[in-house]
Amino acid sequence: MMSSVFLRRFFSRTLNGPWNFIAGERCSPVDSSGTMKVTEPATGQLLCDIPISGPNEIDRAVSSAKAAFKDWSNFSPRERGNHLTRAAEIIKNNLEDIASLEVKDTGKAIWEARIDVSSCADAFEYYGGIAPTLVGQHIPLPNGSFAYVTREPYGVVAGIGAWNFPIQTCVWKAAPALASGNTFVYKPSQFTPVNAVVLGEILDSAGVLKGAYNVVQGEGDSGSMLCDHPDVGKLSFTGSVSTGTKVMNAGAKGIKAVTLELGGKSPLVIFEDADIVNSVKGALMANFLSQGQVCSNGTRVFVHKKILKPFTELLLKQTKKLKIGDPFQEDVTVGATIHEAHARKVLQYIEEAKKEGAKVLYGGERIQMSGKFSEGWYLSPCILTNVNHTMKVVEEEVFGSVLCLLEFESEEEAIQLANQTRFGLAGAVFTKDIQRAHRVSKQIEAGSVWINTYNLYPTEVPFGGYKMSGIGRENGTWSLDNFTQTKTVYVEMGDVDCGPLYSED
């Protein structure tokens, strides 16, 4: 296994590039249409300047993955799994360094980055372990004939990711794709390019076949070229609905399998019998992690009228206590927004909501930091009251720390309002009534529903959306279904029976 000392040297030169990772090597693109300037959200200063991959470079990455596919798919599943398990060990042994890079890339607080990176080790361990369980079926047929069904990889999988959980998004795709015998080309978000390359070094040192995992850097055009490449067999996308639509169209053109992990506007329903402290903890987890830039956030918080007052008081008290600032400081809970344009978009939603009659109970402003953090965009977590479903802030995904507090009086009303959205990624119910908890969970139109908690994503559990939040599932064994296709082999044990088509004379 690569020693930590070696990796440390690697980390120290990570930010100097080169930025692509092809055939087991960090490399610069063979063609490039310019560079993208990546800023560190915490400071607003330049983090790295990365060449944008052009069509020849995309082709080189896909060709590398295609060449590796022949051997990688023929490794026994256990052998593939062993390499992934080793990658999990390397991640665990270097967690602090990888988490630090994640903080530089995203602006999220270090305590959160550690959880993200640790979840990547979980994913490699899990898929490494279950790779050998990917078995087929034997189907007995008349006259001793039979068919067997095997699960085969697609070939080259293209992964494209968003910026809010960069390393986790990449691993949630790479681990199951590689475990099931595919090879992989990943294009990270142009805002968070760093750890995808680090993963390349980690997988290489874990013994993963060179060329099985590749990274190309670029913006939307590079992603689009990757989706359109004829040698890519499967598209696995995480991002916005509007880009997801384009990726799906690209898939349609080439009749490629497509998985989409898109946005959300999830409901968090808190009944009158719920434990108030746990409900407030749930609301904080559902809204203020990663500066609110979480796809599954429960931003529509429905609270039963009877407990609205005590709930609101405690929520306000706890929100005021959140510490905003340098994401590397251990006691900081809220870091920096990804970049200025996004912060301005979040603030704009709040401004428009105010014009429509919403009341700002707390926050929703830029906190001007001093010194080296003065160019970072730090927003105070926001609680809006006096909101309703005709407002944009309640209808659309804000993707920032903006909690909309809504009240309800009956279970039917809560369910109806919870489902009043084009999204269906997640939701939650807080109640002590076990029957109500399951009754309401069943009726919430979403891919994940938490009962008495929020925003937990263990690797073993599938995650993905209903309605416009996506197609397909990541995590658990369900992810393997999305990275494999079945092959049926029909075996005739007697003579061919073709009826009157064939006659003896």
Q: Which residues are catalytic?
A: 261
Min dist CB 97 to ligand NAD, Å, is 24
Using the rule CB under 6 A, is 349 a contact of ligand NAD?
A: no
Which residue type does 245 have?
T
Q: Least distance (Å) from ligand NAD to the CB of residue 466?
A: 11
- Encoded amino acid at 396, one letter: E
CB of residue 194 to ligand NAD, shortest distance in Å: 14
How do beta strands 213-215 and 25-27 pair? unpaired
- Given a contact cutoff of 8 angstroms between Cβ atoms, the answer to whether 84 and 179 are in contact is yes
Q: Does 163 bind ligand NAD (CB under 6 A)?
A: yes
Q: Looking only at residues 34 through 73 of this chain, which bind ligand NAD when binding is defined by CB under 6 A?
A: none
Residue closer to ligand NAD by CB (options 312, 448) is 448
> Within positions 253 to 282, which residues make up the interface with ligand NAD, using CB under 6 A?
261-264
Binding-residue pattern over the window 199 to 228 for ligand NAD, x denoting contact by CB under 6 A: --------------------xx--xx--x-
Instruction: Please identify which residue in the block is written with the tokens 């109970």.
Output: 361
Instruction: Find out whether 362 and 380 touch, Cβ atoms under 8 Å.
Output: yes
Q: Which of residues 170-189 bind ligand NAD (CB under 6 A)?
A: 187, 189
The rounded distance, in Å, linking the Cα atoms of 293 and 263 is: 10
Interatomic CA distance for residues 455 and 168, integer angstroms: 14
Q: What part of residues 436-465 is at the interface with ligand NAD (CB under 6 A)?
A: 465
The smaller minimum CB distance to ligand NAD, of residues 250 and 391, is found at 250
110 lines the binding site for ligand NAD (CB under 6 A)? no
User: Closest approach of Cβ 338 to ligand NAD, in Å?
Assistant: 8
Q: Which is nearer to ligand NAD, 54 or 223 (CB)?
A: 223
Q: Please give the biggest Cα pair distance in the chain.
A: 97
Burial class of residue 426 (count of CB atoms within 10 Å of its CB; 0-12, 13-18, 19+): buried
Residue 116: which of 186, 167, 42 has the closest Cα? 167
Q: What is the DSSP string of 200-234?
A: HHHHHHTTPPTTSEEE---SHHHHHHHHH-TTEEE
Phi, psi of 38 (to 5 degrees): -100, 125
Question: What is the distance between the alpha carbons of residues 481 and 58, in angstroms, rounded to a whole number?
Answer: 26
**Judged by CB under 6 A, which stretch of 74-82, 160-168, 314-322, 482-490 contacts ligand NAD?**
160-168
Choose which of 29, 54, 155, 161 interacts with ligand NAD (CB under 6 A). 161
Q: Are strands 359-362 and 300-304 parallel, antiparallel or unpaired?
A: unpaired
Stretch that binds ligand NAD, among 56-64, 114-122, 140-148, 233-241 (CB under 6 A): 233-241
Least distance from ligand NAD to the Cβ atom of residue 266, Å? 10
Query: In this structure, how many other beta carbons lie within 10 angstroms of the beta carbon of residue 418?
Result: 26
Does position 425 bind ligand NAD by CB under 6 A? yes
Count of helices and strands (H, E) across the chain: 16, 24
Contact 263, 423 (CB under 8 A): yes
CB 45 within 8 A of CB 39: yes
CA distance 300 to 423: 12
CB of 422 to ligand NAD, least distance (A): 13
Please check whether residue 324 is in contact with residue 334, taking contact to mean a CB–CB distance below 8 angstroms: yes
Residues of span 85-104 touching ligand NAD by CB under 6 A:
none
- When the beta carbons of 385 and 477 are compared against ligand NAD, the nearer one is 477
Comparison of 10 and 399: residue with beta carbon closer to ligand NAD: 399
Of 132 and 462, which has the nearer Cβ to ligand NAD? 462
What sign has the CA pseudo-torsion 24, 59, 263, 468? negative
**Residue 479 makes contact with ligand NAD by CB under 6 A:** no
- Residue pointed to by tokens 């909309």: 404
Query: Among residues 190, 266, 287, 319, which is the contact residue for ligand NAD, using CB under 6 A?
Result: 190
Q: Which of 361, 412, 355, 356 is nearest to 382 (CA)?
A: 361
At position 153, the amino acid (one-letter code) is: P
Cα Rg, the chain, nearest whole Å: 24
Instruction: Report in angstroms how near the CB of residue 232 gets to ligand NAD at its nearest.
Output: 11
Per CB under 6 A, does 168 bind ligand NAD? no
403 close to 382: Cβ distance less than 8 angstroms = yes
Q: How many residues bind ligand NAD (CB under 6 A)?
A: 30
Q: Which of 92, 151, 246, 467 binds ligand NAD (CB under 6 A)?
A: 246
Smallest separation, CB 454 to ligand NAD (Å): 15
Q: Is 481 in the site for ligand NAD (CB under 6 A)?
A: no
In the complex, residue closest to ligand NAD by CB:
223
- Report 350-409 residues binding ligand NAD (CB under 6 A): 397, 399
Binding residue for ligand NAD, selected from 41, 155, 239, 298, defined by CB under 6 A: 239
Rounded to the nearest 10 degrees, the angle between the axes of helix 77-93 and helix 110-130 is: 160
Among 130, 160, 289, 307, binds ligand NAD (CB under 6 A): 160
| CB of 431 vs ligand NAD, minimal distance in Å | 26
Cβ pair 315, 309 in contact under 8 A: no
- Per CB under 6 A, residues contacting ligand NAD are 160-165, 187, 189-190, 219-220, 223-224, 227, 238-240, 243, 246-247, 261-264, 295, 397, 399, 425, 465, 470
